[in-house]
Amino acid sequence: MRKELFSQTSGKAAKIMLLGCGELGKEVMLEAQRMGFYTIGVDRYMNAPGHQIAHKFYVGNMKNSGFVRSIVEKEKPDFIVPEIEAINLDLLFDLEKEGFNVIPNAKASHAAMQRERIRELIRNAGVETSKYFYTATLDEMKDACEKLGYPCWVKAIMDSSGHGSSFVKGPEDVQKAYEKAKNEARGSGEKMIVEQHIPFDIEVTELAVRHYDENGNIITSFPRPVGHYQTRGGDYHSSWQMAEVSEKAEKGIYEAAKKITEALGGVGLFGCELFVKGDKVYGNECSPRPHDTGMVTFATHQVGYSEAGLHVRAITGLPVPTEDRLGYRGIPMLKPGATHVLLSPY
Tens digit of pLDDT per residue, the chain (346 long)? 223 333 334 457 899 999 999 999 999 999 999 999 999 999 999 999 999 999 999 999 999 999 999 999 999 999 999 998 889 999 999 999 999 999 999 999 999 988 999 999 999 999 999 999 999 999 999 999 999 999 999 999 987 666 788 999 999 999 999 999 998 876 556 799 999 999 999 999 999 999 999 999 999 999 999 999 877 556 788 999 999 999 999 999 999 999 999 999 999 999 999 999 999 999 999 999 999 999 999 999 999 999 999 999 999 999 999 999 999 999 999 999 999 987 777 6
- Tell me the fold of 2-102: Rossmann fold (3.40.50)
Are the beta carbons of 102 and 95 closer than 8 angstroms?
yes
Which burial class, exposed, middle or buried, applies to 232 when counting CB atoms under 10 A from its CB (0-12, 13-18, 19+)? exposed
The domain spans of the chain are 2-102, 115-126+199-340, 132-196
Q: What is the CATH superfamily name and number for domain 132-196?
A: ATP-grasp fold, A domain (3.30.1490.20)
Q: Which one is the CATH code of 115-126+199-340: 3.30.470.20, 3.40.640.10, 3.40.50.620, 1.10.10.60?
A: 3.30.470.20
Phi, psi of 143 (to 5 degrees): -65, -40
- How distant, in Å, are the alpha carbons of 27, 82, 151, 195, 294 from that of 290? 10, 11, 30, 25, 7
